Structure 1
Amino acid sequence: MEEQDNTAGKKLQHQTRAEAPGTKSWQSQAYTLGAISNFMSTFLTFPIYKVVFRQQIHAVALSEAVKQLWHEGPQYFYRGIYPPLLSKTLQGTLLFGTYDSLLCFLSPVGPHSLGQRWTAGLMSGVVEAVALSPFERVQNVLQDARKQACFPSTFSILKEFNSYGLWGRLSLGYYRGFWPVLVRNSLGSALYFSFKDPIQDGLARQGLPHWVPALVSGSVNGTITCLILYPLMVLVANMQSHIGWQRMPSLWASAQDVWDTRGRKILLIYRGGSLIVLRSSVTWGLTTAIHDFLQRKAHTKKEMTD
């Protein structure tokens, strides 16, 4: 009986990943499922993210980062949640929806090769970076305690950016730190989508409940990906927290500054790494599990109406 359930679950799993050629409904459904799963996981894990951000900016220990937030008071604890909540919801919409659409374009009928998953993941990450970099920029300014007096709200930051000329709005404002964001997002998406399904399929063959492989696959894959790309996250956080008309340092100068201020030690570059493991495990585990659950429910409902 267990083997039959596992076979049926695996069949459903593959059915939800590849609809018949010419069927557009599932690709459009993927955008909705991605939005819901990312919204829920972001809301639940935002406190962890904020502590990690403080460690990235100030290179302080975990206890010191928590102490900073404690002294600022509860009224500031969720300061900055709206940009990531909106951006992560849009991220899920673009990431999962664009990936499924590109994968269907590359190969309308599965199974899909590693190269096809990698290509679709890479391109979905590019789209995500272009669309969402401005949200991350505003979010990083809001979360920097040093900017609270000058820029107390999202509106004050947008007002500052819009006071620049057209090129200034892009290079100094909304798209500050874009190139490391592009590399981080494209590689991160490619790695996640390339290895998510193989890990999940391997665990599914063990006869586990259907939500366990998705949760574990997302946790393991997301954690490894984020650890590999963590230095880029630190660079992005430091570049995007900077604001003002004065000449900003170049990408290389910013990277050199981060390296120097961390005492030229890779261990200090990974300050905040202890929480990034937890945050990545919880966030991507929840996102993958919620997405898989919604995907199954949607596919079951579709089968009943057909």
Structure 2
Amino acid sequence: MEKVNHEINSHKLLANSNLVTPPIVAKQSNVINKSKYVFSSHAEFLSGYFAACASITTLFPLNKLIFRQILDGVSFRDAFLQLKKEGFRHAYRGLLPPLIQKSLSYSIMFGTQNEYSLWLHHLYNQSPAGSQNKINPNVVNNSITAIAGAMAGLTEAFLTPLERVQAVLQMNQYHHRFKHTWHVFYDVNKTYGFRELYRGLTVICLRNSLSNVVFFTSRAQFKNYFPKTTSSFKNMLYDFINGSLLGASISTVFYPLNVFKSHMQARIGGKFLTIREAFWLVYESRERNLGRLYKGVGSNFMRAIFAWGITNSAYEFSLNKLKHLKIRH
């Protein structure tokens, strides 16, 4: 009898313990879920920064040559002769703004895109549609990637003043007026106000968001077409080819937006041009020929092949190294 009573009491204790356990487990699971969505894109931010530094430093003279083609509507040869006449000491004039702007911009582009993606996935998983898996996962992933890319592009746009200063320093009519990057910032801000540094913001927002959507939604899919390999060199080569073809195609499609931006930022003071006004200004100046909106696109395509090839391969290389170091530690 005592044995029976002991077994009954044991079952009661076990039942009571089962009643207590679930709330504790649930509380622990909430803590775990929250920890999964803390800021976790450090490697992406750093890799974007390193990739931009490598690309901009290598290709700055070519970027400057293309800018002259865009602004003046001249041939590659004429733009090259302009730079040659100005001398080598002016070849890297204006490097600091794009170096700062692009390193920060690519850091923001890759880092925030990844962070926005994590955040949007978290929001979706918490929604009724996500918890019940009502939507095809591929559609969800592509949609979130596109939205995150557009948001990252808009976030990048706060760096417009650096792009603005770069445009001023690359124009030969301002060689004697402005000495260096900080002189442009100081003089323009003092004379015309901080708003002047954001000239061309609308077209930059449009360019950044649209190009990011295409880039991030296509990059991983294009990489799947390359052979699988464990070779570091082949991986870097495939990343270079992937980035160069994708980046060159995107920059060619959205090339006219850069033309409009350059003409918006070619002036200091006066009325701010809208995208529509910039279009008509360029269109009229190029004898109402739509094909001439693409003047310089060949040089831009070649530059983009190397720029985005270097950027993508350097980004993937840095990202793999940083994540490997994180795992080891």
**Aligned counterpart, 1:217:** 242
**Aligned counterpart, 1:163:** 190
**Aligned counterpart, 1:94:** 108
- 1:201 shift after superposition: 1.8
- Among 285, 294, 305, the alignment partner of 1:270 is 294
Q: TM-score under structure 1 normalisation?
A: 0.85
- Among 202, 209, 227, the alignment partner of 2:225 is 202
Paired residues of 1:201 and 1:213 also in contact (CA < 8 A): no
**Aligned counterpart, 1:259:** 283
Paired residues of 1:204 and 1:210 also in contact (CA < 8 A): no
**Aligned counterpart, 2:305:** 281
**Pair 1:192-2:215 in alignment:** yes
**Aligned counterpart, 1:146:** 173
Of structures 1 and 2, the larger Rg is shown by 2
Q: Return the alpha-carbon distance in structure 1 between the equivalents of residues 108 and 175 of structure 2.
A: 31
Q: Return the alpha-carbon distance in structure 2 between the equivalents of residues 251 and 26 of structure 1.
A: 37
Unaligned runs of 5+ in 1: 1-19
**Aligned counterpart, 1:107:** 121
- 1:250 shift after superposition: 4.1
Residues 122-157 of structure 1 deviation map (CA, whole Å, 9 limit, x = unaligned): 00000001x211100000011011221223332332
**Aligned counterpart, 2:85:** 71
- Among 120, 129, 137, the alignment partner of 2:148 is 120
Q: How many residues align?
A: 280
- Among 135, 141, 151, the alignment partner of 2:162 is 135
1:160 partner letter:
D
Change (3 A) 1:25 1:33: farther
- 1:113 shift after superposition: 1.6
Paired residues of 2:149 and 2:213 also in contact (CA < 8 A): yes
Paired residues of 2:189 and 2:197 also in contact (CA < 8 A): no
2:217 partner letter:
S
**Aligned counterpart, 1:59:** 73
Change (3 A) 1:177 1:203: same
**Aligned counterpart, 1:178:** 201
Paired residues of 1:118 and 1:190 also in contact (CA < 8 A): yes
- 4+ aligned runs moved over 4 Å, structure 1: 23-26, 108-112, 205-208
**Pair 1:43-2:67 in alignment:** no
Paired residues of 2:39 and 2:115 also in contact (CA < 8 A): no
Q: Identity of aligned pairs, percent?
A: 27
Change (3 A) 1:298 1:252: same
Paired residues of 1:125 and 1:186 also in contact (CA < 8 A): yes
Secondary structure, in 3 states, of the residue corresponding to 2:224? helix
Change (3 A) 1:250 1:210: closer
- 1:261 shift after superposition: 1.0
Q: Return the alpha-carbon distance in structure 2 between the equivalents of residues 207 and 33 of structure 1.
A: 21
Secondary structure, in 3 states, of the residue corresponding to 1:263? coil
Q: Return the alpha-carbon distance in structure 1 between the equivalents of residues 65 and 118 of structure 2.
A: 39
2:45 partner letter:
Y
- 1:303 shift after superposition: 2.6
Residues 203-236 of structure 1 deviation map (CA, whole Å, 9 limit, x = unaligned): 1448882222211111111011101110000110
Change (3 A) 1:61 1:298: same
